[in-house]
Structure 1
Amino acid sequence: MDRITQSFIDELLETEELKSEGESKDFEKLANYSVISNEYNKTFDLNFVTIGDGDDTGIDGISIIVNGVLVESIEEIDDLIEKNGSIEVDFVFIQSKTSSSFSTADLNTFIYGVKDFFSTSPKLRRNESLQKFCDLANHIYKNAPKLKNNPSCKLFYVTTGKWVGDVNLTAIINSGKEDLEATNLFEIVDIIPLGARELAKYYRKTKESVSTTINFSNRITIPEINGISEAYIGLIPYEEFIKIVSNEEQNLLNVFEDNVRDFQGENNDVNNGIASTITNSGSEIFSVLNNGITIVASKISPTGNQFTITDYQIVNGCQTSNVLYNNKNNSNISKVVIPIKLIATEDDEIKTRITLATNNQTPIKKEQLASLTQFQRSLEQYYNSFEGDKRLYYERRSKQYNSDSSVIKSRIITVPYQIKSFAGMFLNEPHNVTSYFGSIVRKLNDGKIQIFDNDHIYIPYYTSAYAYYKLENLFKKGLIDSSYRKVKFHLLMLFRLLNEKNEMPKFNSKKIEAYCNNLLDILSDEEKTLKAFKKCCKVIDEADFDKSDKQDVKLVSKTKNLLDYLSK
Structure 2
Amino acid sequence: MGLNDVILLETMLEQDRRRSAPNMDPTQHHTFFVAKHYLRQNFSLGHDDLLSGIVDGEGDCGIDAIHLFANSMCVRDDTPLGMLGRRTRLELVITQTKNTAGFTEPPIDKLLVSLPKLLTFGRDEATLAQSANPRLIEVTRRFLETYRALELPELQINVVFAALRAQEVHPGIQRKAKELEHCLSQLFAACEPQVRFLGAVEISNLARHATSITRKLILAENPISTDMEGGYVAVVRLADYEKFITGRSGELDSPLFEANVRDYEGETAVNQSIQDTLEQPDPAEDFWWLNNGVTIVAEKVQPANKMLELKSPQIVNGLQTSWEIYKRRSSNSSTDRRSVLVKVIEAQDNAARERIIRATNSQTAFGPSTLRATDQVQRHIEEYLGSKGLYYERRRRYYFNQGMPVDKIVSIDQMGQAVLSILVQTPHIARSSPSKIFDPGIYEKVFAPDRELPTYYACVKILRAAGDFLVVDGGIGIVEDFQYHLAMLLGMVLTGHEQPEPRDVASLAEADFSTGVARELLRLIQAEYERANRSKRVLLLDKLAKDAFVTEHVLQRGREFLHGTTQTAAPTQRRASRHRERSKGF
TM-score, L = length of structure 2:
0.77
Which residue does 1:564 correspond to in 2?
556
Pairs within 5 Å for 1:286-325: 286-325=287-326
Matching residue within 429, 438, 450 for 1:432: 429
Matching residue within 390, 393, 396 for 2:391: 393
Query: Take 1:531 and 1:394, find their aligned partners in 2: how far apart are those partners?
Result: 30
1:27 and 2:30 matched: yes
Any idea what SS the aligned residue of 1:385 has? helix
Letter in 2 for 1:369: P
Q: Is the 8 A contact 1:544 1:558 kept in 2?
A: yes
Question: Is the alpha carbon distance of 1:271 and 1:36 closer, same or farther for their aligned partners in structure 2, counting shifts above 3 Å?
Answer: farther
Query: Take 2:422 and 2:72, find their aligned partners in 1: how far apart are those partners?
Result: 28
Q: Is the 8 A contact 1:65 1:91 kept in 2?
A: yes
Cα deviation, residue 448, structure 1: 8.2
Query: Take 1:349 and 1:194, find their aligned partners in 2: how far apart are those partners?
Result: 41
Query: Take 2:358 and 2:527, find their aligned partners in 1: how far apart are those partners?
Result: 51
Which residue does 1:50 correspond to in 2?
54
Q: Is the 8 A contact 2:258 2:314 kept in 1?
A: yes
Letter in 1 for 2:349: D
Deviations 1:384-416 (A, max 9, x none): 33467x3221112221123424x2122212222
Q: Is the 8 A contact 2:159 2:194 kept in 1?
A: yes
Select the structure of larger CA radius of gyration: 2
Query: Take 1:56 and 1:283, find their aligned partners in 2: how far apart are those partners?
Result: 59
Query: Take 1:13 and 1:450, find their aligned partners in 2: how far apart are those partners?
Result: 37
Which residue does 1:416 correspond to in 2?
413
Deviations 1:353-409 (A, max 9, x none): 32233223x2424xx124345754552443333467x3221112221123424x212
Letter in 1 for 2:231: A
Which residue does 1:515 correspond to in 2?
504
Cα deviation, residue 85, structure 1: 7.0
Query: Take 1:328 and 1:54, find their aligned partners in 2: how far apart are those partners?
Result: 48
Deviations 1:2-42 (A, max 9, x none): 133223432443423443354xx543332223223334312
Query: Take 2:212 and 2:422, find their aligned partners in 1: how far apart are those partners?
Result: 33
Q: Is the 8 A contact 1:292 1:338 kept in 2?
A: yes
Question: Is the alpha carbon distance of 1:183 and 1:489 closer, same or farther for their aligned partners in structure 2, counting shifts above 3 Å?
Answer: closer
Letter in 1 for 2:510: D
Q: Is the 8 A contact 1:484 1:537 kept in 2?
A: no
1:490 and 2:485 matched: yes
Which residue does 2:469 correspond to in 1?
474
Deviations 1:506-538 (A, max 9, x none): 7xxxxx4x433312122xx3xx25345334324
Larger mean Cα displacement after TM superposition, 335-344 or 247-256: 247-256
Any idea what SS the aligned residue of 2:509 has? helix
Question: Is the alpha carbon distance of 1:476 and 1:363 closer, same or farther for their aligned partners in structure 2, counting shifts above 3 Å?
Answer: same
Any idea what SS the aligned residue of 2:25 has? coil
Cα deviation, residue 222, structure 1: 1.4
Matching residue within 440, 444, 461 for 2:456: 461
Question: Is the alpha carbon distance of 1:66 and 1:311 closer, same or farther for their aligned partners in structure 2, counting shifts above 3 Å?
Answer: closer
Question: Is the alpha carbon distance of 1:71 and 1:214 closer, same or farther for their aligned partners in structure 2, counting shifts above 3 Å?
Answer: closer
Any idea what SS the aligned residue of 1:218 has? coil
Deviations 1:513-566 (A, max 9, x none): x433312122xx3xx253453343244245576596444322223212122223
Any idea what SS the aligned residue of 1:133 has? helix
Pairs within 5 Å for 1:6-21: 6-14=10-18, 15-21=20-26
Query: Take 2:466 and 2:198, find their aligned partners in 1: how far apart are those partners?
Result: 35
Q: Is the 8 A contact 2:373 2:394 kept in 1?
A: no
Matching residue within 141, 146, 153 for 1:135: 141
For structure 2, which runs of at least 5 residues remain unmatched after alignment? 533-539, 561-586
Which residue does 2:266 correspond to in 1?
266
Q: Is the 8 A contact 1:394 1:413 kept in 2?
A: yes
Question: Is the alpha carbon distance of 1:5 and 1:290 closer, same or farther for their aligned partners in structure 2, counting shifts above 3 Å?
Answer: farther
Query: Take 1:187 and 1:288, find their aligned partners in 2: how far apart are those partners?
Result: 42
1:359 and 2:374 matched: no
Query: Take 1:355 and 1:111, find their aligned partners in 2: how far apart are those partners?
Result: 48
For structure 1, which runs of at least 5 residues remain unmatched after alignment? 507-511
Query: Take 2:440 and 2:152, find their aligned partners in 1: how far apart are those partners?
Result: 27
Question: Is the alpha carbon distance of 1:170 and 1:563 closer, same or farther for their aligned partners in structure 2, counting shifts above 3 Å?
Answer: closer
Letter in 1 for 2:213: V
Which residue does 1:500 correspond to in 2?
495
Cα deviation, residue 154, structure 1: 2.4
Q: Is the 8 A contact 1:258 1:315 kept in 2?
A: yes
Pairs within 5 Å for 1:214-253: 214-216=217-219, 218-225=221-228, 229-237=229-237, 240-241=240-241, 244-245=244-245, 248=248, 252-253=253-254
Question: Is the alpha carbon distance of 1:53 and 1:315 closer, same or farther for their aligned partners in structure 2, counting shifts above 3 Å?
Answer: same
Any idea what SS the aligned residue of 1:233 has? strand
Query: How many residues are paired up?
Result: 536
Q: Is the 8 A contact 1:380 1:395 kept in 2?
A: no
Letter in 2 for 1:127: A
Cα deviation, residue 462, structure 1: 3.3
Which residue does 1:509 correspond to in 2?
none
Any idea what SS the aligned residue of 2:202 has? helix
Query: Take 2:183 and 2:482, find their aligned partners in 1: how far apart are those partners?
Result: 40
1:379 and 2:378 matched: yes
